[in-house]
């Protein structure tokens, strides 16, 4: 159901993307949907008009992902390629990096993956061991990453590493664009139970040699500018807030799809004298699932608007809350939808069983619900940290 707190343009975007998603449906061809969404301008709505984007923000991109999800065909790489990588390059990249990457990210002809998680670091980004060191004018990048989506179909991966601060000797974050076929850049597909179009990979970087221009915002003309070695932390958070907002959109869309399927079934399925949807034991949990999804959407909209307005601090709190609320609401909505259908909920015909695993993703990634509760505990409430 479309809310009218949105502008006419946003409602029109929502309707157009919903029509695209409905046309492709649950059993869509992933490549065809991605290509058509790119041609129609939906993949790059958040990127600058100067580079072929729509000139909007995460608000618009979250609408695209939510509506595709509600139609049963979410595009996970929307979170990664235009939302994280596109945003970071648009805000911090050199002119050359923007010219090279943004038009392709906007129209979908190029893809970029994002590598931050490591086997031994988990949620603790301070334990990232992927390191970059200078070798003449080049960089040498060494380390490992896990659970990186879509590396096989991405033209490059935006890798989060750490480099030594010349002044303090401490390691600080830095981001590098690593083309897929760079020597020393290896990948291994992780065998996942999750049935998703986008595959997960473990990456190894063995003294991967990169030119100075691979450092986001780096290169000779940007050594002391908005990018480069000294902007790594800003760049990282510029990408992580959109990631959380878009994950919320992913979850809300999935939850809406599940509830819609359950409602359709409950209206028609008659066991005794009336449709099962007439019974409160069926109707009330679905109504509650709908309410929870709508509340999560409101927080997601708040987070997106704060981010697009340039309030990174406010957006950080709201994005975490939105991701938490959406993940919880999605998991409950999918579970209730499957329960509504009973045995039919586990059949391939109705297309809900695979969502049981997928719904868990939004509670786990890109940050667990517990770490968000930690964030709110000490950042919002001012309680002492437990770690």
Q: In this structure, are 206 and 195 located in the same domain?
A: yes
- Asked whether residue 52 is assigned to any structural domain, the reply reads yes
Grouping H, G, I as helix, E, B as strand and the rest as coil, residue 385 is coil
Comparing 208-222, 284-298, 335-349, the range with the smallest average pLDDT is: 208-222
pLDDT in tens, 305-331: 999 999 998 999 999 999 999 999 999
The CATH number linked to 349 is 1.20.140.10
Pair 254, 334: CB distance under 8 Å: yes
- Average of per-residue pLDDT across 236-254: 94
- Asked whether residue 385 is assigned to any structural domain, the reply reads no
Pair 227, 218: CB distance under 8 Å: yes
- Asked whether residue 197 is assigned to any structural domain, the reply reads yes
Q: In this structure, are 239 and 360 located in the same domain?
A: yes
The whole-angstrom separation of Cα 218 and Cα 221 is: 8
Q: In this structure, are 117 and 160 located in the same domain?
A: yes
Element (H, E) at 147: strand 138-149
pLDDT in tens, 32-46: 999 999 999 999 999
- Average of per-residue pLDDT across 100-106: 98
pTM for the complete prediction? 0.93
- Average of per-residue pLDDT across 361-376: 94
With bands split at pLDDT 50, 70 and 90, how would you rate the model's confidence at 220? very low
With bands split at pLDDT 50, 70 and 90, how would you rate the model's confidence at 165? confident
The CATH number linked to 30 is 1.10.540.10
Q: In this structure, are 126 and 87 located in the same domain?
A: no
Contacts of 56 (CB under 8 A, 6+ apart): 45, 46, 308
Q: In this structure, are 374 and 252 located in the same domain?
A: yes
With bands split at pLDDT 50, 70 and 90, how would you rate the model's confidence at 222? very low
Grouping H, G, I as helix, E, B as strand and the rest as coil, residue 175 is strand
Distances in Å between the alpha carbon of 356 and those of 100, 177, 225, 264? Answer: 39, 34, 46, 19
pLDDT of the residue at 387: 81
- Asked whether residue 85 is assigned to any structural domain, the reply reads yes
The CATH number linked to 135 is 2.40.110.10
- Asked whether residue 2 is assigned to any structural domain, the reply reads no
- Average of per-residue pLDDT across 320-343: 98
pLDDT of the residue at 227: 52
Q: Which of 94, 111, 128 is the last residue of a domain?
A: 111
Distances in Å between the alpha carbon of 61 and those of 164, 231, 306, 375? Answer: 35, 25, 14, 25
Q: Which residues span the domain enclosing 200?
A: 113-230
The whole-angstrom separation of Cα 58 and Cα 289 is: 25
Rounded to the nearest 5°, which phi and psi values hold at 129? -110, -5
Q: In this structure, are 244 and 368 located in the same domain?
A: yes
Q: In this structure, are 105 and 131 located in the same domain?
A: no
Q: In this structure, are 191 and 327 located in the same domain?
A: no
pLDDT higher than threshold 60 for residue 51 = yes
pLDDT of the residue at 122: 67
Strand 112-115 with 156-164, pairing: parallel
Q: Which of 111, 137, 161 is the last residue of a domain?
A: 111
- Asked whether residue 25 is assigned to any structural domain, the reply reads yes
Q: Which of 175, 204, 230 is the last residue of a domain?
A: 230
Number of domains in the chain: 3
- Asked whether residue 387 is assigned to any structural domain, the reply reads no
Lookup: tokens for 182: 């760079």
With bands split at pLDDT 50, 70 and 90, how would you rate the model's confidence at 229? low
Q: In this structure, are 132 and 223 located in the same domain?
A: yes
pLDDT in tens, 109-162: 999 999 999 988 766 767 789 999 999 999 999 999 999 999 999 999 999 999
Q: In this structure, are 34 and 94 located in the same domain?
A: yes
- Asked whether residue 3 is assigned to any structural domain, the reply reads no
pLDDT of the residue at 44: 97
Contacts of 164 (CB under 8 A, 6+ apart): 133, 170, 171, 172
Q: In this structure, are 240 and 371 located in the same domain?
A: yes
294 C-beta neighbours (distance < 10 Å), count: 14
| Region class of 351: left (phi > 0), else alpha (psi between -120 and 50), else beta | left
Q: In this structure, are 107 and 121 located in the same domain?
A: no
Comparing 57-66, 87-96, 215-224, the range with the smallest average pLDDT is: 215-224
The whole-angstrom separation of Cα 8 and Cα 10 is: 5
């Amino acid at each position: 159901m479309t809310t009218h707190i949105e502008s006419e343009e946003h409602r029109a975007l929502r309707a157009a993307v919903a029509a695209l998603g409905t046309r492709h449906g649950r059993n869509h061809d992933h490549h065809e949907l991605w290509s058509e969404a790119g041609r129609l301008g939906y993949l790059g709505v958040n990127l600058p008009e100067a580079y072929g984007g729509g000139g909007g923000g995460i608000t618009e991109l979250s609408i695209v992902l939510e509506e595709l999800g509600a139609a049963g065909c979410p595009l996970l790489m929307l979170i990664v390629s235009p939302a994280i990588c596109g945003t970071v390059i648009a805000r911090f990249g050199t002119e050359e990096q923007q010219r090279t990457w943004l038009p392709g990210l906007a129209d979908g002809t190029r893809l970029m993956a994002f590598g931050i998680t490591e086997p031994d670091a988990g949620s603790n980004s301070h334990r990232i061991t992927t390191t970059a060191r200078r070798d003449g004018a080049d960089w040498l990048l060494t380390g490992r990453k896990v659970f990186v989506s879509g590396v096989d179909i991405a033209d490059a991966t935006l890798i989060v590493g750490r480099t030594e601060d010349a002044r303090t000797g401490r390691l600080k974050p830095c981001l590098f664009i690593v083309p897929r076929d760079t020597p020393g850049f290896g990948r291994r597909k992780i065998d996942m139970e999750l049935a998703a179009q986008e595959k997960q990979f473990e990456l190894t970087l063995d003294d991967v040699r990169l030119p100075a221009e691979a450092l986001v915002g780096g290169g000779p003309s940007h050594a002391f500018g908005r990018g480069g070695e000294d902007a790594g932390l800003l760049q990282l958070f510029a990408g992580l807030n959109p990631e959380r907002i878009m994950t919320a959109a992913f979850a809300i869309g999935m939850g809406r799809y599940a509830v819609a399927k359950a409602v359709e079934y409950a209206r028609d399925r008659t066991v005794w004298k009336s449709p099962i949807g007439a019974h409160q034991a069926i109707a009330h949990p679905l109504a509650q699932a709908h309410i929870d999804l709508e509340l999560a959407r409101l927080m997601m909209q708040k987070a997106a608007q704060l981010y697009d307005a340039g309030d990174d601090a406010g957006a950080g709190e709201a994005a975490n809350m939105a991701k938490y609320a959406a993940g919880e609401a999605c998991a409950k909505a999918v579970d209730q939808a499957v329960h509504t259908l009973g045995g039919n909920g586990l059949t391939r015909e109705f297309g809900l069983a695979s969502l049981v695993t997928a719904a868990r993703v939004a509670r786990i990634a890109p940050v667990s619900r517990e770490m968000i509760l930690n964030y709110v505990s000490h950042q919002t409430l001012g309680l002492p940290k437990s770690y």
